[in-house]
Amino acid sequence: MSAAQKDYKKVTVKTLSDMKAHGEKISMLTAYDYTMATIVDGAGIDVILVGDSASNVMAGYQTTLPITLDQMIYHASSVVRGVSRALIVVDLPFGSYQSDPKEALRSAIRIMKESGAHSIKVEGGKEIKESIKRILNAGIPVMGHLGLTPQSIYKFGTFTVRAKEEEEAKKLKQDALMLEKAGCFAIVLEKIPAKLAKEVAESVSIPVIGIGAGNGVDGQVLVLHDMIGMTKEFHPRFLRRYLNLYEDMTKALSQYVTDVKAVDFPNEDEQY
C-alpha cells in the first residue's frame, strides 16, 4: 500500500507548514504530463512541480529559457487532471514575470485559471520582490527559488555550486528572509553548500526544499526523469537514481522489434 493510499488528505500550503512544524520531511518531484502525474501522485509525493525543466527533458533544449507561458499552462493542465492529493506548483517561465509586477500577476493568473494548479514558483530575491507581492496580493500562493536559478544561467555562466563565497551567501540569506516576510509559503534552494542551506532552513519559519542542498532542509525535490533514470548523460553529485529506465526501456523496445520481425508478436493469445 502506497503512502497516498494510506492518506488521501489533500496536501495544501498549510499542510507543508504543519509538516515543517512537526519535523516531517517534504517530498517533491516534477511531472509534466497526465500519465506521470497519476503515478507520482499515487506514490504519495507531497508536492508536484510542473517545472520549466520541461524545456530540457520534454523538448530537448539546453536551458529552461525557451519554454513559453502557453506551454507551461499546457503541461500544468495535463498534470492537474492526473492529481488528486499532491499540491501542484507551476514555474513561471523566463520572460513572464521579470519585466514588471503587472505582467507577473497576469502570468500567474493565467496559470491558475487555465490550468487549475494550486500555486506558482518564481526564481530570484529582492529584484523581483514587487512582482511577488503583487501576485500574493491577488491570493495566489508563491514558492520562491534561490541559489542556482536556471533561468539566470547565462549570468552565472556555469551550473556550479552557488553561494560558496561570503558575499553571495549573505545575499541568499537576506533574500530568504525577504521571501518569508513577503508571504511566500516555501523556498527551493538549489545547489548550494549544505551548511548554508541548513542555516537558511533554521532561520525561516516556512519550509525550505532542497535540490543539491544537503539533508538539513525541510524536504527534497528532484526532476522525475533524472531520478528514474530516463536521462542518460546527467550525473550531478546530488542525484540518486532509483531506476535505470533508459536501459530497461531500450531492452524492452529492442525485444519488441525482434518479436515483430520474427512474427512472434502477436501470438495466438494476442489475436481476436
**Interval 146-192: pLDDT, tens:** 999 999 988 888 888 999 999 999 999 999 999 999 999 999 999 99
How deeply is 253 buried, as exposed, middle or buried, from its count of CB atoms within 10 A (0-12, 13-18, 19+)?
exposed
How deeply is 70 buried, as exposed, middle or buried, from its count of CB atoms within 10 A (0-12, 13-18, 19+)?
exposed
Confidence (pTM): 0.94
pLDDT at 226: 97
**Interval 120-157: pLDDT, tens:** 999 999 999 999 999 999 999 999 999 999 999 888 88
**Which one has a higher pLDDT value, 161 or 262?**
262
Active site residue 190: yes
pLDDT at 2: 52
What is the pLDDT confidence band of residue 7, given thresholds at 50, 70 and 90? low
The domains located in the chain, with CATH, are 3-241 (3.20.20.60), 244-272 (no CATH)
Check 190, 199, 202, 270 and give the catalytic one: 190
What is the pLDDT confidence band of residue 1, given thresholds at 50, 70 and 90? very low
Q: What residue numbers does the annotated binding site cover? A: 52-53, 91, 121, 123
Q: What residue numbers does the annotated binding site for Mg(2+) cover? A: 52, 91, 123
Mean pLDDT over 204-225 rounds to 98
In the 8-state DSSP scheme, what is residue 37?
H
Q: What residue numbers does the annotated binding site for 3-methyl-2-oxobutanoate cover? A: 52-53, 91, 121
